[in-house]
Every structure is written in structure tokens, then in C-alpha cells.
Structure 1
Amino acid sequence: MLYLMDIWDAVRGFMAAGGDVLWLVALVLFLMWVMMLERYWYMTWVVPKAHKAIVATWMAREERHTWHAQRIREAWVSRAKQDMNARMLIIKTLVAICPMIGLLGTVTGMISVFDVMATQGTSNARLMAAGISLATMPTLAGMVAALSGVFFSTRLDSKMKIRLERLKDKLPQH
């Protein structure tokens, strides 16, 4: 229990050093990861069953060679692709927003520094350091959040493409 309190104190200290914008970065990061984990769960547990049902339905068809049958096959593949890509645009948007929110923190932190300089002068380095912290912490957090999102969303995207190609391969055309 003491260990968890130490972790919570460290997180709280980090968030206080980064200012209010850091909470916004944390919120966007949380939403991004919830959606990515949902997509991973969907790809691991739902997609195999759904694709197996599509293949079984296709193989149960008597006619698979006509133009009409091929359009049905294309429609099923298209629906599977649409289902797999359901939240990917939102995830990629959240990944792209993370550095922008970090830059917002940079701007607000620098405004704080300029405010201290205007009221206290340039001789109080301790007060200016707090503003510099407000400027750098959100930028760092936004970049780290974006990097983790880029890596895992790219892996998720490639996993989806592989699954879709496997589905196409299991639905013979002729």
C-alpha cells in the first residue's frame, strides 16, 4: 500500500509540475489507449469468429462463380474491412492531437514565464523555472503519448490488413 502511495505522489507531482494542460494530455492518452485496447480485443476475439462465419456461408453457397456471387463476396469483404477499421480514424486523430496539446502546454508555460518576467523581472530564476517546467512537461508528455500511439496503431493497422488478406484468401473466387 505504501508503494502505491509513493507512485501516486510521484504522478501527482509530475502533473503539478506540468500544469493543467498535462491533465488534458492524460485524458487524450487514456481515450486513445482505451480505443486501441478495444480494437486489439476485437481483432483477437471477435474477428476470427466473424471471418469463420463468412467463410462458412461462402462455402455453403452452391454458386460462387457468377458475377452476382462475386459482388456478394466483395460486399462481405468490404463489410469485414469496415468493421475492423471502425475506430481507427479516431485513434489516429487522437495520436495526431497529442503533440498539439503538448505544444499548447508549451505556449501556456511560456506565457507564465513572460508573466513572471513582467512582474518580478529577470532576476528571480526560481519563479521562471516553474514556468519553464510548465512549458516543457506537457511537450514531453504529448510527444511520448504520440510515439506510443503511432507505434501501436501502426501495428494494429498492419494486423487488420493481414486479417483482411487472409479472409480474401479463404474465399475462393473460382
Structure 2
Amino acid sequence: MGGFSEVLLAFMDKGGEVLWLIAALLFVMWTLIFERVWYLKFGWKNDVAKVITQWEGRGERKSWEARQVRNMLISQARMQINQYLPMIKTLVALCPLLGLLGTVWGMIEVFNIMAVTGGGDAKSMAGGVQQATIPTMAGMVAALSGVFANTYVTRIAQRESEFLQDNLTTDH
């Protein structure tokens, strides 16, 4: 395990400071994604049962007031199921932007080396180019992983929300 951590730290050092920022953003994004998956697997069914029980416990379900209560129950459940989804979407969008920031940061290093050495030190310039490309790659990989996970969680949330709406009937 010590070998893996050494390789990881060497990779992070090659990518520069922006790579640490991307790693922190990726950690937060996946923490929120796992929280939503956990909620959808274990918490949502309980919340749906409570809402349906509350709705079915009403004596009257056809009046204007009953429809407003139904809309409120559905809205509250949707707020619960969609919690953190906008934040996840924002973090996914930030990943490639931080990768581009890393690119700019690395290119500034390249230009600084060119200014100091007069452009003759190709090895030093290669290190700056490497520092520029690693965060770009990391930002794109992080964004791709988040796009797929966000699509999965959003699709399930939408389907479950529609299921709840369909089960709060007004016909009896």
C-alpha cells in the first residue's frame, strides 16, 4: 500500500497545486453522489410510505383544498429527493474548468522557465507542459465520472418522483 501512496503523491506533485483542488472537488462530488444513492436505496421508500399514509389518511381527496395538500406533499417529497442534485451538477461543471486553470497555471510555469533560461532548457519546459496537461486530464476524467453518476441519480429521482405523484390518487 505504501507504493501506491508514493505513486499517488508523485502524480499529485507533477500536476501542481490545482490538482489538489480538483481532488478535493472530486471528493465532495462523490460524497454527495454516494449520499444520494444511499438515500434513494434506503431513505426514499420510507419517506414515500409516510407521504402515501398521510394522503390516504385524509377523509376527503377531491376538493380544491385536498389538491393543494396533495401538491404540497409532492413538492416536499421532490425537494427531499432532489436535494444536492444541483450541487452535484455544479461540481461536475467545475471539474473541467479547474483542469483548464491547471493548464494555464502550467503554461505560466513554461513561460517563466523560457524567460529565465532563454528557451534553451527543454527538460524544464517539459516539466511545465506536464504540469499543464495533468490537471486538464484529471478535470476531464472527474467530470466524465460525475456526468454518468449525476445522470443515473437524476433519472432515478425523476422516476421515483413520478411514481409518488401517480400513487397519490384523488379518485377514491
Using structure 1 for the length normalisation, give the TM-score: 0.95
For residues 112 and 62 of structure 1, the distance between their equivalents in structure 2, rounded to whole angstroms, comes to 71
Which residue identity lines up with residue 73 of structure 1 in the other structure? R
- Which one of 56, 74, 81 corresponds to residue 71 of structure 2? 74
The count of corresponding residues between Structure 1 and Structure 2 is 171
* Aligned partner of residue 163 in structure 2, secondary structure: helix
Show structure 1 runs of 5+ residues with no match: none
1:140 aligns with 2:137: yes
* Aligned partner of residue 62 in structure 2, secondary structure: coil
- The answer for the alignment partner of 1:164 in structure 2 is 161
Give the ranges of 4+ consecutive aligned residues of structure 1 lying more than 3 Å apart after TM superposition: none
Show structure 2 runs of 5+ residues with no match: none
* Aligned partner of residue 64 in structure 1, secondary structure: coil
1:121 aligns with 2:150: no
For residues 130 and 163 of structure 1, the distance between their equivalents in structure 2, rounded to whole angstroms, comes to 50
1:61 aligns with 2:58: yes
Which residue identity lines up with residue 118 of structure 1 in the other structure? A
Percent identical: 43
Larger mean Cα displacement after TM superposition, 40-49 or 133-142: 40-49
For residues 57 and 80 of structure 2, the distance between their equivalents in structure 1, rounded to whole angstroms, comes to 23
- The answer for the alignment partner of 1:26 in structure 2 is 23
For residues 141 and 51 of structure 1, the distance between their equivalents in structure 2, rounded to whole angstroms, comes to 39
Aligned-pair RMSD on alpha carbons?
A: 0.9
Which residue identity lines up with residue 135 of structure 1 in the other structure? A
Report the alpha carbon displacement of residue 152 of structure 1 after superposing the two structures with TM: 0.4
